[in-house]
Amino acid sequence: MDTRIYGFVGLGLIGGSMARAIKNAEPDCKIIAYTPHRSTVDAAKEEGTIDVALDRIGPEFTDCDYIFLCAPVEINNDNLELLMPYLSLKTTVTDIGSVKNSIHEKVRELGIEKQFIGGHPMTGTERIGYQNSKASLLENAYYILTKTDSCQKERLEDYYLLVKKMGAIPLVVPYLQHDYATAAISHVPHVLSAALVNLVKNSDNEDHLMKTIAAGGFKDITRISSSSPVMWQQICNTNSENISGLLEHLIDSLIEIKLAVEDHDPDKLLDFFTSARTYRESFSDFTSGPIQKTYVLHVEIDDQPGRLAAVAVLLSDHNVNIKNIGIVHNREYERGTLRIEFHSGKDLEQATKLLTSNEYTVVLTQG
């Protein structure tokens, strides 16, 4: 089999993670990449993630088997136009945007529907940039493919297999359906998360009491507000109809529950929370989505010097990789004085067994 060539235009968190995953799956492949920040592609080349670092979109992309557009949604459209003079008929062009209508319209305008397949790896973290990318980010994450009506069957099948090589789970979905679904499960939650953060910001007192005690549920539900503001500005601009329509439904629901709170209506309040809990607990925990699954446990420890360090050393001595560790100051919604987050389910499982066997009280957290 000939050595495959993959081109990346943009190499941030998702693009970098994909490049790493492809390189792991196909060590002999050639990866070229361009990003406006030369330091990014230079770092990726030095690490061995890519083979050629470019400072422009040019003829180097002509030989690519795949070109991944990995910039923000609206910039992908501009970059696609810049690629047109260098685009070979053999090349499968794709993107990673969480909105598909805009890029599909641009592809139709440029007349390259036969060789375009939209892509959306439904994974990520609150951190951005190539420096935070890792191949494991794709593992067991849904990766949606949105084909055009004239897309060649062989291209779709090849891309489907490539997604599986990256460790992700491919799903073929019509692009308009994709945009409506992601508006509900990703875009509106980001808007709501930002609104909650701004609510606390604007409601807090001069002593910043709310900010000081914010923990538990508030931090969990607002974690995604740390994502790129520019990216979310563009997502809202390009998927505005779906986001606006769903926000209207959400506002109606909030008004309804507001009235139930004011009226002290026990039945409506119970139905509201019971319905949400029942549906939320039906979600699968085996795959990651746009709001990535977290691997967290809580440990009961005495408030004595060295107790936190003892836990950290115990896990470190047994090669358990810790993502984050800290004391929980507000435990109204969380059990356990020490919160530990891990990179994977394997680390979580190993830590649970290790701590339990050393007579620590461990409480697992679903996420």
- Domain residue spans of the chain: 5-174, 178-280, 295-365
pLDDT at 191 over 90: yes
23-81 pLDDT, tens per residue?
A: 999 999 999 999 998 999 999 999 999 999 999 999 999 999 999 999 988 899 999 99
Task: Find the length of the chain.
Answer: 367
Query: What is the Cα–Cα distance from 278 to 242, expressed in whole angstroms?
Result: 26
Instruction: Read off the tokens for 40.
Output: 């990014």
**Predicted pLDDT at 332:** 46
**Predicted pLDDT at 20:** 96
Could you tell me where the DSSP H helices lie in 183-239? 188-203, 209-213, 216-222, 229-238
Report the half-sphere exposure of 336 (CA within 13 A, side-chain side).
18
Second CATH level (architecture) for the domain 178-280? Orthogonal Bundle (1.10)
**Predicted pLDDT at 73:** 82
Other CB atoms within 10 Å distance of the CB of residue 224:
20
208-267 pLDDT, tens per residue?
A: 999 888 866 787 788 888 888 888 898 999 999 999 999 999 999 999 999 999 999 999
Secondary structure (3-state) at 283? coil
**Predicted pLDDT at 284:** 55
117-174 pLDDT, tens per residue?
A: 999 998 877 677 899 888 888 888 889 999 999 998 999 999 999 999 999 999 999 9
Q: What is the mean pLDDT of the chain?
A: 89
Strand arrangement of the beta sheet that strand 66-69 belongs to: 52-54, 30-34, 5-9, 66-69, 92-95
CATH fold, domain 5-174, is Rossmann fold (3.40.50)
**Predicted pLDDT at 260:** 97
Query: What is the Cα–Cα distance from 29 to 119, expressed in whole angstroms?
Result: 20
Yes or no: say if 105 and 179 are a contact pair by the CB < 8 Å rule: no
- Lowest-confidence region among 22-26, 55-59, 182-186, 343-347: 343-347
Which of 173, 162, 153 lies closest to 104, judged by CA? Answer: 173
DSSP symbols for 4-63: PEEEEE--SHHHHHHHHHHHHH-TT-EEEEE-S-HHHHHHHHHHTS-SEEESS--GGGGG
Yes or no: say if 170 and 164 are a contact pair by the CB < 8 Å rule: yes
Q: DSSP letter at 116?
A: B
Q: Who's near 165: CB < 8 A, 6+ residues apart?
A: 21, 22, 25, 26
**Predicted pLDDT at 258:** 97
Yes or no: say if 236 and 224 are a contact pair by the CB < 8 Å rule: no
**Predicted pLDDT at 250:** 96
280-325 pLDDT, tens per residue?
A: 888 755 445 544 567 888 888 876 778 888 999 999 999 998 988 8
Query: What is the Cα–Cα distance from 210 to 191, expressed in whole angstroms?
Result: 20
pTM (2 decimals)? Answer: 0.75
**Predicted pLDDT at 365:** 63
**Predicted pLDDT at 2:** 78
Second CATH level (architecture) for the domain 295-365? 2-Layer Sandwich (3.30)
